[in-house]
């Protein structure tokens, strides 16, 4: 089951539990992290999409004239993989999470994971790349019925998934194996793992829907936090990938830093709103207001920029410590 389907299933349970418990309230070269201090006592580091660069394409890495020339990629994040493999100019349609300059001119063809067959076909593709989350089946069948080649590539929800997905995309477009191997190496990045790093809690927040979850082992963020030199306290405590945020659960974890997505932080009213959530003010992170916020489309993208993101997170955790 794709991780976001799992997390949203858990979110429904979280909403019910929180209503009862709280009365209804509840960086490559080129990588940089921009600080955004929200109040005099806040220490917020925001990592935005432009802060984290793509791997550079070496001369000769661009695809030759053979292979698909018009690629539509509804598969989550695969547009960025295509760009890193030297096929950016061939992308004529992309998913909404692929957000890099090389493919910025290609129209978005997805809404969440859903695609319209008519929208895809009007772009006259000779290759459509999908994944297990792309839907509806009827739309994909309609695209196939016209003779357009449709290839399903693996999803990527962990660092270990980056290599297989990159290899599958490369095979689909005819990119050389050595280029795919280099992209994978840069995407998985350098590990700054340290047993003495700051304790970090990943919170998935959607305040407008009263959804507040703590990330645990297998959330995706746990691997990034560890590689960046921190300790994911939810994973270390043996929590499931996403569990409801309760005062008892968060206070027991005692994080030094809270990691969130930017839209999630905005949805609860910034750091001032974050510290009013159950248990946050009773943690070292809440007391010192140490928060790292990463673009929603970037944090769990597990694509070519993940290595640079790890470097940016490592820097941010140092700034937040």
The confidence band for 55, taking pLDDT boundaries of 50, 70 and 90, is confident
Which residues on neighbouring strands pair with residue 127, listed in sequence order?
A: 71, 149
Mean of the per-residue pLDDT values of the chain:
86
Q: Is the pLDDT of residue 107 over 60?
A: yes
The confidence band for 159, taking pLDDT boundaries of 50, 70 and 90, is very high
* pTM as predicted: 0.83
Closest of 275, 257, 233 to residue 320, by C-alpha: 257
DSSP 277: S
Q: What is the pLDDT of residue 31?
A: 34
* Residue tagged 């661009």 (tokens): 62
The confidence band for 52, taking pLDDT boundaries of 50, 70 and 90, is confident
φ/ψ region of 118 (left if φ > 0, alpha if ψ in -120 to 50, else beta) reads alpha
The confidence band for 283, taking pLDDT boundaries of 50, 70 and 90, is very high
What mean pLDDT comes out for the span 82-88?
Answer: 94
Both tokens assigned to 280: 């946050």
What mean pLDDT comes out for the span 208-222?
Answer: 96
The three-class DSSP label of residue 100 is coil
Q: Is the pLDDT of residue 191 over 80?
A: yes
Q: Is the pLDDT of residue 41 over 60?
A: no
What mean pLDDT comes out for the span 269-273?
Answer: 96
Both tokens assigned to 9: 């299933």
What mean pLDDT comes out for the span 155-180?
Answer: 94
What mean pLDDT comes out for the span 128-143?
Answer: 98
The confidence band for 220, taking pLDDT boundaries of 50, 70 and 90, is very high
Q: Which residue has the higher pLDDT, 31 or 201?
A: 201
Q: Which residue has the higher pLDDT, 49 or 115?
A: 115
Question: Residues 295, 114, 209, 33: what is their CA dihedral angle, to the nearest 10 degrees?
Answer: 0
Both tokens assigned to 218: 């297998």
231-237 long-range contacts (CB < 8 A, ≥24 apart) are 231/195, 231/197, 231/198, 231/199, 231/200, 232/200, 232/201, 232/202, 233/199, 233/200, 233/201, 234/201, 234/202
Q: Is the pLDDT of residue 99 over 80?
A: yes
Range with the poorest average pLDDT among 47-61, 66-80, 210-224 = 47-61
The confidence band for 185, taking pLDDT boundaries of 50, 70 and 90, is very high
CB 67 within 8 A of CB 120: no
Total residues belonging to the chain: 321
Q: Is the pLDDT of residue 195 over 90?
A: no
What mean pLDDT comes out for the span 289-306?
Answer: 94
Q: What is the pLDDT of residue 66?
A: 72
The confidence band for 58, taking pLDDT boundaries of 50, 70 and 90, is low
Domains present along the chain, CATH in parentheses = 71-188 (3.40.50.1980), 192-318 (3.40.50.1980)
């Amino acid at each position: 089951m794709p991780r976001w389907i799992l997390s949203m299933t858990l979110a429904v349970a979280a909403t019910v539990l929180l209503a009862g418990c709280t009365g209804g309230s509840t960086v490559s070269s080129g990588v940089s992290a921009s600080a955004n201090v929200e109040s005099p006592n806040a220490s917020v580091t925001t990592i935005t999409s432009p802060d984290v660069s793509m791997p550079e394409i070496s001369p000769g890495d661009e695809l030759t004239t053979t292979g698909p020339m018009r690629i539509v990629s509804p598969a989550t994040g695969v547009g960025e993989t295509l760009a890193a493999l030297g096929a950016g100019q061939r992308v004529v349609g992309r998913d909404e999470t692929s957000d890099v300059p090389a493919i910025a001119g290609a129209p978005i063809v997805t809404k969440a994971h859903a695609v319209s067959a008519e929208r895809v076909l009007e772009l006259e593709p000779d290759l459509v790349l999908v994944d297990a989350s792309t839907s509806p089946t009827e739309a994909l069948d309609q695209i196939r019925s016209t003779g357009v080649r449709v290839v399903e590539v693996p999803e990527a929800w962990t660092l270990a998934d980056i290599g297989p997905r990159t290899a599958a995309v490369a095979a689909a477009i005819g990119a050389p194996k050595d280029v795919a191997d280099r992209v994978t190496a840069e995407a998985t990045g350098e590990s700054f793992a340290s047993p003495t790093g700051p304790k970090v809690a990943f919170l998935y927040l959607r305040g407008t829907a009263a959804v507040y979850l703590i990330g645990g082992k297998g959330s995706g963020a746990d691997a990034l936090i560890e590689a960046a030199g921190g300790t994911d306290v939810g994973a270390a405590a043996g929590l499931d990938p996403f569990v409801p945020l309760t005062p008892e659960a968060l206070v027991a974890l005692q994080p030094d830093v809270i990691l969130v997505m930017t839209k999630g932080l905005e949805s609860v009213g910034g750091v001032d709103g974050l510290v009013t959530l159950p248990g946050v003010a009773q943690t070292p992170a809440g007391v010192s207001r140490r928060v790292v916020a990463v673009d929603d489309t970037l944090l769990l993208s597990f694509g070519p920029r993940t290595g640079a993101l790890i470097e940016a997170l490592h820097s941010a955790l140092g700034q937040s410590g």
